[in-house]
Amino acid sequence: MKAQQNYTRTVTETRWLNADEQRTWRAYLNSHRLLLDAIDAQLRRDSGMPHAYYEILVCLSDAENRTLRMAELAEATRVSASRLSHAIARLEERGWVCRQECPTDRRGQLAVLTDEGFATLAAAAPGHVEAVRTALFDSLDADQIRDLGEISEILARHLA
């Protein structure tokens, strides 16, 4: 009986999406998927890497000495430690990243962007930027770009 009461309360308290919200939600999901698919396809085709690897390389290139603790890199790329470890292993095989022991924490590891990895990222960046521009910015005017930026920042703060 208690489970039925909780279910009834949940159903009656659900804040269902109205028609405009439902349309917006579905349009957002569809555009987000299509955008990520387009970016990933361009990177795979032109640079031989998925977008997830590109993001890892960018995070490392932005870090001091092109080095981050694995835990920090996992947080920055929003992936699990095991998924990141697998990706780093693939990047190591390509010679783009190497792992080092953390000098301040024996349990920690550092991911380091190699010179070859940095060169690969530099070579991939122009095509990536053009794909982002084509897939996202070219279809928006300056006001829409500003609005999208503001909305994205609001959502990121709310969800963080």
In 3-state terms the chain splits into helix, strand, coil percentages (rounded to 5) of 75, 10, 20
Q: Give the pLDDT confidence score for residue 104 in this predicted structure.
A: 85
Rounded CA separation 87/151 (Å): 31
Q: Give the pLDDT confidence score for residue 8 in this predicted structure.
A: 57
Question: By C-alpha distance, which of 18, 14, 63, 35 is closest to 152?
Answer: 35
pLDDT digits (tens, 9 = 90+) for 47-68: 999 999 999 999 999 999 999 9
Averaged confidence pLDDT in the chain? 93
Domains and CATH numbers, the chain: 23-159 (1.10.10.10)
Mean pLDDT across the stretch 89-113? 93
Rounded CA separation 57/59 (Å): 5
Rounded CA separation 73/113 (Å): 12
pLDDT digits (tens, 9 = 90+) for 119-148: 999 999 999 999 999 999 999 999 999 999
